[in-house]
Structure 1
Amino acid sequence: MRIPRDDASRLEWLLFEQSTVLTWAQAMAVLPPGRVRHLLGSGRWHRVCRGILRAAPGGPYTREQQWWVAVLAAGDGAVLAGLAAARAGGLRGAWRYDAVDVLVPHQRRAADLLRRLPLGLPPVRVRRVRHLSAADRQWGRPGRTRMARSLVDAAGWAGTDDEAQAILAAGCQQRRVTPTELGAALDRLPRARRRLLIRQTLHDVAGGAEALSEIDLMRLCRRHGLPVPDGQERRRDADGRQRYLDAYWRRWRLHVEVDGAHHMDVRHWAADLRRQNRVWIEGDRILRFTAFDVRHRPAEVVAQLRAALTAAGWRP
C-alpha cells in the first residue's frame, strides 16, 4: 500500500498504518454507517470476523494483516509476542511454529471471536500477563514485545528444545539482539519455560557459537572431555573482508567448519573451498563436518576431533 500524501484523509492513514485491517468502531469513527455497509455489500471491504474488517477484496492475508487481525481481535492492551513479534522486528528464518501469539492484561479473558477466525488465518494464541515492563514493550503499530523478550518467549513456547535453541541463536547471529539483552529479559521472567536451557544456550552463544550446530559441537566437546573451542575466530579473506571461523582451538591451531544446508549451493561451496585452502596455507589444521553428523553421528565426530587435537599436541 502506498504511503498517503500529507493531505490524506484519516481513513487513508488508518488503513496504511494497520495494513488495511480495522475494527468496526474505527470504521464508524471516520465514515457514516451507511457508507461502511455499502463498502461491505459491494465486496470492496469484507468482514474478517465479528467486529473486524478488512478494507480489501477477499484473498490471501499478508503476514502484516494476520498480525493486525490478531491484535485487534484480542482487544485493548493486546500486543504481539513471541515469534510473531520477533518477525515483526526483523527476525528472518523459516519456522514450523505458525501461530500468532498475543499478550493481554491478566484480568482479560480470551476474546471468543478469536476461536472463530476464518480459514486462511493462522491460529491466535492469547496469553495473559500480569505485568509487561517498559523494558519489554516495543512501541509501534502494532504494539509488540521487544526483541529480547520476544525471543525468550518464543524459545519457551517452541515445540522442541532444538527449535528453542535455533530461535535464540538466529536472533544473535542476525545481530537483532545480544546474549546480554536476552539474559536481562530472562531475569525479568522468573517463571519462564525452559529457563535452564535458555541460560545454557546464551552461555554458548556468548562463547562464540551462533548457530545451533555450533552449540551442539561445543556441548559434544564438554560431554566427551575434549577442550572446548574458543568460538568464532575472525579472519580476513583474500578480498580483505572479515570472515568468521565456526570453531577454533587457538592453542592447537585446529579449525572446524560445521556445514549447513547453504553449503550445498555451488557458489557457497566454491567460496568455502577457497577459504579452506587459505586456512591450510596459513598453517592450521582443518576439519569439516555436516550439522547432521554433529547431531546424529557424534561418536565419529568425537573420534576425529580427538585424533586431530592429539596430533596437534593436546594431551588429556
Structure 2
Amino acid sequence: MRIPGDDASALRWLLFEQSGMLTWAQATAELSPARVRHLVATGRWQRICRGVLCAVPTDAGFSRDQQWWVAVLAAGPGAVLAGLTAATAAGLRGTWRHDVVDVLVPHQRRASELPRRLPPGLPAVWVRRVRHLSDEDRQWGRPDRTGLARSLVDAAQWARSDELAQQILAAGCQQRRVTPAEIGAVLERLPRIRRRRLIAATVRDVAGGAEALSEIDFVRLCRRHRLPPPETQVRRRDADGRVRYLDAYWRRWRLHVEVDGAHHMDVRHWAADLRRQNKVWIEGDRILRFTAIDVRHRPDEVAAQLRAALSAAGWIP
C-alpha cells in the first residue's frame, strides 16, 4: 500500500500494528484531514463506524484481529479487550460459542461515547464500564487487554451458566496458562464480583489437583458424601516405565478411579484406556470408571459404588 506524504512509513507501521484499522485522530495525525476524506471518498479507505477507519481491503471479511481492533478503537480511549475475548487473544483454547467481543472501559466514560452497533460482518461489542482495573490486571498488547487471570475471572462471572464458568476456569489452569494463585490474587482485588464464591471454590479444587471439570465435580462428590478425599492427577509409572496420571487415587486402599470425559468416546482413546486399566488390575489395584455425566447427574449411585469399593478394601466409615 502506498500512502503519499513524508510520514507514510510511520502510518504504514501503525496500520501494521493495528491490522489495518485506525481512528480518525490517528489518521489525521499523519495525514491532512482533506487527504483522509479523499481516501474515504474514493473507496481506498472505508469508514467502519464513528471515528474508526479501515485502510486495507476487507473483501474476504474481517479477520479476528481486525474485529478486536475495531471493538477497542470504537470503544475509545482506555478500552481493553476483556473476558473470554482477552483470554482467547492470550492463547486459551476451547469450543465455547462466543459471538461478542468483550471490552472494558474506564467508569467515567459516558454511555453516549460507547459504540452501539457495528456494520454487518462484525460481531457485537459488549462494553462494560469498570471502576477497578489495576496495572496488575492489564496487559499491553495488540490490542491491549486484561491479563489472563483477570480475563478468566471476568469470563467466569459473565458466563451463561455456572457450569460454563467452571469450564473456563478449569481450562485456563489445565492448559497451564494461569495458576490458581494468580486467579486468587484477582479475587482479592475484586471482592464484589458475580459468582465470587463459585470461582473461589473452583480455584481451590483446581489447586488441589483436579484440573478437568469432571474431576472437580468428583472431588466435590466425595466431600458431600463424606468419603475420604482422594489424591488427584497422581503421577505414577506403569509396568512399562511410562508416566501415567491417575484421575483419583486412594493410596491407602489402592483404589483408582477414572472419570471419562467426551474424548473417551473416541475408539483410539477407548482402546488405550482399556489396556491401561488392565495394567492397573495386574499391579493389584482396584479400579472404577465413571462418565462425567454420571458424576454430575447420578452422584448418589457413584457415591454408593465408591463406598462399597472402599469398604471392600478395608475402609471403615
Question: Fold conserved (TM > 0.5)?
Answer: yes
Assess, with a 3 A threshold, how the Cα gap between structure 1 residues 280 and 80 changes in structure 2: closer, same or farther: same
Other structure's SS at 1:198 match = helix
State the distance in 1 between where 2:300 and 2:144 align: 47
Residue 144 of structure 1 deviates from its aligned partner by 0.9
Query: Which aligned pairs between 1:213-252 and structure 2 lie closer than 5 A?
Result: 213-236=214-237, 242-252=243-253
Q: What root-mean-square deviation, in Å, do the aligned CA atoms of Structure 1 and Structure 2 show?
A: 2.1
Q: Which aligned pairs between 1:189-204 and structure 2 lie closer than 5 A?
A: 189-204=190-205
Do the aligned residues in 2 keep the contact of 1:50 with 1:113 (CA within 8 Å)? no
CA contact (8 A) 1:102 1:126 kept: yes
Structure 1 residue 98: deviation in Å?
2.9
CA contact (8 A) 2:249 2:256 kept: yes
1:23 aligns with 2:18: no
Aligned-residue sequence identity (percent) comes to 77
The answer (yes or no) to whether the contact 2:157–2:194 under 8 Å persists in 1 is yes
Within 5 A, what are the aligned runs for 1:129-278? 129-236=130-237, 242-278=243-279
User: Cα–Cα, structure 1 residues 213 and 30, in superposed 2: closer, same or farther, change >3 Å?
Assistant: same
Match of 1:13 in 2: 13
CA distance in 1, matches of 2:94, 2:22: 28
Count of equivalent residues: 309
Structure 2 length-normalised TM = 0.90
Per-residue CA distance 1:151-194 (angstroms, 9 max, x = gap): 11111111111111111111100001111111011000011111
Q: Measured at CA, do residues 310 and 25 of structure 1 come closer, stay the same or move farther in structure 2, by a change above 3 Å?
A: same
Q: Give ranges in structure 2 of 5+ residues lacking alignment.
A: 1-7
CA contact (8 A) 1:110 1:126 kept: no
Normalising by structure 1, what TM-score?
0.90
> Residue 52 of structure 1 aligns to which amino acid in structure 2?
V
Superposition deviation, residue 271 in structure 1: 2.4
Structure 2 CA distance, aligned partners of 1:238 and 1:15? 57
Query: Using the alignment, how far apart are the partners of 1:169 and 1:277 within structure 2?
Result: 29
**Cα distance per residue 1:17-53 (max 9 Å; x no partner):** 1122211222233344455445444544322212212
Letter paired with 1:155: A
* Aligned: 1:47 with 2:47: yes
1:125 aligns to 2:122 (yes or no): no
Question: 2: CA distance between counterparts of 1:110 and 1:69?
Answer: 18
Q: Is the 8 A contact 1:231 1:247 kept in 2?
A: yes
1:114 aligns with 2:124: no
The answer (yes or no) to whether the contact 2:18–2:69 under 8 Å persists in 1 is yes
Q: Is the CA contact 2:80–2:105 (under 8 Å) kept in the aligned structure 1?
A: yes
